[in-house]
Amino acid sequence: MNRPATPRKPRAASQARIATILAAARELLASEGVGSLSIYGVAERAQIPPSSVYHFFASVPALLEALTADVHAAFRAALLQPVEHDALRNWHDLSRILELRIMRIYHDDAAARQLILAQHGLVEVSQADHQHDIELSQLLKEVFDRHFHLPALPAEIDVFALAMELGDRVYARSMQQFEQITPRMAEEAMRVMDAYLGLYLPPCLPKRPDPL
């Protein structure tokens, strides 16, 4: 006679515990920075045993990689929000709308600033950020192509990924100098992005009659 299988832990419970851990890590990042983050500190903030944190995240870099993925999920959601096609006069308008959305995430999320813009030197986080940037650049290109007829772009260079990385460099400089993204530096980041994209996109990029 076969015995019934032992019930597995509900997935919803695991997801709730992961959310609690990530929320605690976010709070610590905002108040103390990446260098002070520890599994035990996160466990104490989340009011759970350290073993519960280790069950889901074997190390601090693994925890930071999950937080980086969480931040980039917010970036993706921002890029996927509808854009009013009729209000776009040129591709610069679209670029500004999308970059303002990203900037608001940085402004509102201290963890995002610490993970993406701070000089923490964690290779695992930097690699995860780079991989997510590649995915975001494809989405950014799709949004541009939805509203405008894009010209042929070089296959060996990810133009949109480089534009995003250049903008982040300016944000990072602002964080280093002023410990925040100032309005002036935010404007400079958008100018840098548009200047680089302008090397490949003509000023009068044909607009589609209707978005794809």
**Are 205 and 175 found together in one domain?**
yes
Q: Which residue has the higher pLDDT, 8 or 181?
A: 181
Domain count, the chain: 2
Q: Is 143 within a domain? A: yes
Q: What is the DSSP string of 9-31?
A: PPHHHHHHHHHHHHHHHHHHHHH
In eight-state DSSP terms, residue 116 is: I
d(CA 167, CA 173): 10
Note the pLDDT of residue 121. 65
Residue for token digits 């695991």? Answer: 14
DSSP bridge pairs for 203: none
Note the pLDDT of residue 1. 44
- Domain encompassing residue 209: 59-212
**Are 157 and 54 found together in one domain?**
no
**Are 28 and 66 found together in one domain?**
no
Q: Give the CA distances from residue 35 to residues 73, 88, 170, in Å, rounded to whole numbers and listed in that order.
A: 23, 43, 22
The CATH number covering residue 66 comes to: 1.10.357
pTM for the model stands at 0.84
d(CA 46, CA 53): 9
In eight-state DSSP terms, residue 209 is: S
pLDDT reading at 7 higher than 50: no
pLDDT tens by residue, 100-159: 999 999 999 988 888 888 766 667 777 777 778 888 999 999 999 999 999 999 989 999
CB atoms within 10 A of CB 41: 17
Q: Are 159 and 140 in contact (CB under 8 A)?
A: no
Q: Is 27 within a domain? A: yes
d(CA 190, CA 87): 19
Q: Is 124 within a domain? A: yes
Contacts of 29 (CB under 8 A, 6+ apart): 37, 67, 110, 111, 114, 115
**Are 191 and 125 found together in one domain?**
yes
The CATH number covering residue 54 comes to: 1.10.10.60
Note the pLDDT of residue 39. 94
d(CA 166, CA 200): 15
pLDDT reading at 194 higher than 80: yes
d(CA 116, CA 169): 10
pLDDT tens by residue, 38-94: 999 999 999 999 999 999 999 998 898 898 889 889 999 999 999 999 999 999 999
Q: Average of pLDDT values for 160-175?
A: 93
Structural tokens at position 99: 């970059």
